[in-house]
Homo-oligomer: A and B are copies of this chain.
Amino acid sequence: MPKQVDHDERRRRLTEALLRIAGTRGLQAVSMREIAAEAGVSLRVVQYYFTNKQALLDSGLAELGSRMDRRVRQRAAATTGGPSTRDLFAAVLGAILPSDEQSRLDSLAWTAYYTAALTDPALAATGLTLPNALEDFLTTRLATAQQAGDITPDRDPRTEVAALLALANGLTSSVLSRQRSHEAAAAIVGYHLDRLFGPAAAPPHR
């Protein structure tokens, strides 16, 4: 393997090692040498494919963002055909809550990044702006549903969406700290969707 190497693939491996460490031992446990050990390569290799530690951290954040994005889109797409607005909301909010071990690790890493960005300007510069696009998307979707009569006119779509996303966020915290199971958190989300859309339309109740 001495010469022609796929740089993107190498970088991807290293980024995955970084996220594995961040998800299990925290962001402060992430060092160049730890990443090298986790990826099974030497320190020099990590230096070779990433100029900086900052570049490495940026790459980790980008990968994390695209993972989250992919998860939400997949779940939303899974409710194909004639997805009711309620189903869409259930899918999107369910995608935010950590369900399996992988999404738990990603959520932990994401939380670590988020917290670090609150006090570290270098992290804050890089994007943490995904939630906003999602909020806008869901708001227009809910407003449309309101005009169609799916929810009562006294609801404010923007406030409802903001609250639901904040709720999912807060529930994620409690799931990560093992105060609550994923199922318990999902039940609370379902409870609120019932109140918003009226009791579940019979079939998609889980």
What residues make up the interface of A, taking CB atoms closer than 8 Å to B? 23-26, 28-29, 108, 111-112, 114-120, 128, 131-132, 156, 159, 162-163, 165-171, 173-174, 176-177, 179-180, 187-188, 191-192, 195
Contact = CB atoms under 8 A, between A and B. Distances in A.
A83 to B, nearest CB: 24
A26 B119 contact: yes
Nearest to A160: B191
A120 B26 contact: yes
Contacts of A120: 26
Contacts of A26: 115-116, 118-120
A111 B169 CA distance: 13
Contact of A177 (B112, B118, B173, B192): B118
A174 B135 CA distance: 13
Contacts of A111: 115, 118
Interface centre among A163, A176, A192 (most CB of B within 10 A): A163
B170 A188 contact: no
8 contacts: A25-B119, A26-B115, A112-B118, A114-B173, A118-B177, A132-B179, A166-B174, A170-B171
A131 B173 CA distance: 12
A41 to B, nearest CB: 23
A182 to B, nearest CB: 14
Contacts of A170: 165-171, 173
Contacts of A128: 177
Contacts of A25: 119
A107 to B, nearest CB: 10
Nearest to A174: B166
